[in-house]
Chains A and B, each alone.
Chain A
Amino acid sequence: MYKITAKEHFSDAVVKLTVEAPLIAKSRRPGHFVIVIDSKHGERIPLTIADADPAAGTITLVVQGVGESTRAICAMEPGQSLTDVVGPLGRATTIRNGGTVVCCGGGVGVAPLLPIIKAMKAAGCRVVSVLAARTRDLIILEEEVRAHSDEVIIMTDDGSYGQKGLVTAGVEQVLQREPVDEVVTIGPAVMMKFVAALTRKYNVPTVASLNTIMVDGTGMCGACRVSVGGKMRFVCIDGPEFDAHQVDFDEMIMRLRP
């Protein structure tokens, strides 16, 4: 059992949970994810690791309640335990040593982006972070992102905070004004698709972290398969990060539909 030791509400539907998982806390790297089962009859769902504290033996998960299981996890309180947590899974992010990186995250995608921002900054990159959400209340982890970024651009669909507009508008501002070595994007598939389309135009290498359906998460079921550069790849084993310019986002979006 994996005890929840702390909980913080980011919004009605988004919570941050600190969970006891000492081995994972020690071995995880930015980009990794875990598979979580909330209860005895629960399903296996992939969640990216937002942070970890190896000394305390805990990992941080940011969960958005969208389905039955994620809503059940969001309703859990400190002291309760997740039945199963396994990981760290996937390949870790390749961290650049220097250069300018634009890290853009949408919605809860900011959570898995945070460890990448931290690592890029620590490795000596100039980090410009672009955070986007529908509205002000859904912007998460702004303070933490600010602490590890050279600049933060906030975009909201309704203009209630930062600039009004989509994440792509924020990214394009940076691309237009300075040379960028790499863009990292994590968020809804549609968002990543448009970020990829934008950066292709500017010819800037771009990494997208994909959030497909998974069952086991260990390279067995094939539910997470995506087409990358015309080849079948498995997000759990080969990913979750891929060259965004090679990903067939339309197919991925189709496969995510119920």
Chain B
Amino acid sequence: MEQSLGIIETLGFATAMEAADAAVKSANVKLGEWVKVGGGKVNIILRGDVAAVKAAVEAGVAAASRIGKIEGQTVIARPSEKLTGIFPIEAK
């Protein structure tokens, strides 16, 4: 089953955890590992079908932007499988 990929990038770990918590509670998505980008930036990886991932990213960004800074967000409906080896996007 093709899983879409959602990424929320925040400034700060606490903000990232707020985004992850809101995202997971808002839609039927799975969390991947959080990615340490450096310079205080953290990526949250979300997997699921495209509608759920879209809703989860929006909910996560809305919740996290109340307490911290959102650096970026994206939803890739059909990520290429080659991405898996390069970037840790598997759901836990």
Genuine A/B complex = no
**A positions within 8 Å CB-CB of B:** none
